[in-house]
Amino acid sequence: MGIVSLDLIEPEMILAKEVRDSSGRILLGQGAEITEKHLSLFRRWGIIELDIEGQGEEIEEGPLDPEILDEAREKMKAIFRHNNMVHPFVEALHEIVSEREARKMMRNREVQT
Amino acid sequence: MISRSLERFLNDDFELPAFPKVVLRLNQLLASKQFALSEVGDVLSRDPGLSAKVLELVNSSVYGLKTRVETVNRAVVMIGAEQVRQLVIATSVVKMFKSIPHNLIQVEDFWKHCVACGAIAKKLAELQGEEQPDRFFVAGLLHDVGRLILYLKAPEKMNEVFEKVKDGEMLFHEAERKVFGFNHAEVGFQLCRIWSLPDFFRETAGYHHNPEDAFRHHEAASLIHIADFIANALQLGSSGQKYVPLLDDFAWNRSGFTSSIAEGVVNESMEKYEEAIHVLL
């Protein structure tokens, strides 16, 4: 599964997680095959992304691109600006969130290409 | 112990949404000290919606019970009457404040942050060998509830707070104090008192930014502080804060944790987080 922006979703893709509206009502269930009609409804309802089966799975496990990881580290440094970056726990957490961010960036880039 | 500005704020004509009847009945029943466990189940089952949520949470990885619990009576036996009451209160608070539209924040994102904090806090409590790790999930859920009241009751002033933190120089709770004269943690403390929650919850909500100043529950407040720190770093939902608050030295030293716990805590809290937001939001 992987989060895919609505603009990049094509009919016949399979929903990995149900879609809910803002009040929590299920609009389309997990495992459903997406149709053109669904897509136009989602657009109207302001849904911006969906969790799609089989997207970005290899990225969840595979090695991280070192350049993207460095980019993510730099980006994540900003949210820790009030903290002492040499504190071992802050450092450990910064690395974890940077890796998560790097995977997200790799997923987004893969979907775009 | 309550500042005059905060007292005025709470006494103002803003009415807190009312708890469902079931909560009031549970409070009465448990306060009487003489009750059968089956009575707790009977009271709770009069609210089928709440009962269903409690059962779903108790059966989720958040509680991690080995056998499936099919009835609320069984849930009371398995996790305890007081734990059920706390869970019912927290679930009701989320429900009461879930669908309120707001132009400064997405209320759903707010609760995601709180659920993340709760899931992480429970994991940290298990690592510390806490006897009742479940209450840390509830404490995490409620730790920022005071901020929600600030948003709902004083949106213009919260807008000022947003202006103050925009350039990243000041932390959110510091800016609240500048604008209001008190911060969301102090409001949270008073809300937990109004809701007759045990002092454990008053202090975890009230001192999660300054655990050193707690009355009795320094360890618990420190643990919620660290859970909040991790939840902010992971950017799971948001209570409005863009930056990770400063990791408090007192809290870190008091916890006795080392940095090696980070990865395990993050990985193992994720499943609990996903399941809990599925049930609650």
- Domain range summary for chain A, segments of one domain joined by +: 2-55, 58-112
Rounded to 10 degrees, the C-alpha dihedral A95/A96/A97/A102 comes to: 80
| Residue B160 falls in which region: left (phi positive, over 0), alpha (psi -120 to 50) or beta | alpha
Compute the average pLDDT of residues A49-56: 78
Angle (CA) A82 B149 B176, round 5°: 35
What homologous superfamily is domain A2-55 in, according to CATH?
Molybdopterin biosynthesis moea protein, domain 2 (3.90.105.10)
Fold category of B97-280 in CATH = Hypothetical protein af1432 (1.10.3210)
CA distance B268 to B119: 9
* DSSP structure class, residue B245: P
Backbone angles phi, psi at A52, to 5 degrees: -110, 140
Q: A30: number of CA atoms within 13 Å, CB side? A: 5
CB atoms A24 and B281 under 8 Å: yes
Residue of A30, A77, A87, A89 to mutate for B, most B C-beta atoms under 10 A: A89
Judged by CB atoms closer than 8 Å, whether chains meet at A83 and B99 is answered as no
Residue B1 banded pLDDT, cuts 50, 70, 90: low
Between B113 and B239, the higher pLDDT residue:
B113
pLDDT computed for residue B96 by the predictor: 87
With a pLDDT cut of 70, the percent of chain A lying above it is 88
Residues 6 or more apart in contact with residue A77 via CB below 8 angstroms? A85, A94
| Chain B residues lying within 8 Å of A99, measured CB to CB | none
Q: Which of B165, B182, B50 is CA-nearest to residue B104?
A: B165
- B contacts of A93 (beta carbons < 8 Å): 229-230, 233, 262, 266
B121-175 per-position pLDDT tens digit: 999 999 999 998 999 999 999 999 999 999 988 999 999 999 999 888 899 999 9
Q: Is A105 helix (H, G, I), strand (E, B) or coil?
A: helix
Q: What is the pLDDT of residue B79?
A: 92
Within 10 angstroms of residue B181's Cβ, the number of other Cβ atoms is 14
Q: Which of A84, A89, A97 sits opposite B259 (nearest CB)?
A: A89
Averaged pLDDT of chain A? 85
Q: Which of B255, B259, B273 to mutate to test the interface with A (most CBs of A within 10 A)?
A: B259
- ipTM for the predicted complex comes to 0.89
Q: pLDDT exceeding 70 applies to what percent of chain B?
A: 99
Residues of chain B with a CB closer than 8 angstroms to some CB in chain A: 98-99, 108, 168, 171, 229-230, 232-235, 242-247, 252, 257-260, 262-263, 266, 281
Alpha carbon distance B262, B266 (integer Å): 6
Name the least confident of A47-51, B1-5, B104-108, B174-178. B1-5
Helices (H), B235-261: 249-255
Domain definitions of chain B by residue range: 18-88, 97-280
N- to C-terminal Cα separation, chain A? 18
B9: amino acid identity, one letter: F
* Nearest residue, CB atoms, A96 vs list B168, B262, B281: B262
Q: What is the pLDDT of residue A57?
A: 58
User: Which residues from chain A sit within 8 angstroms of residue B262, using beta carbons?
Assistant: 89, 92-93, 96
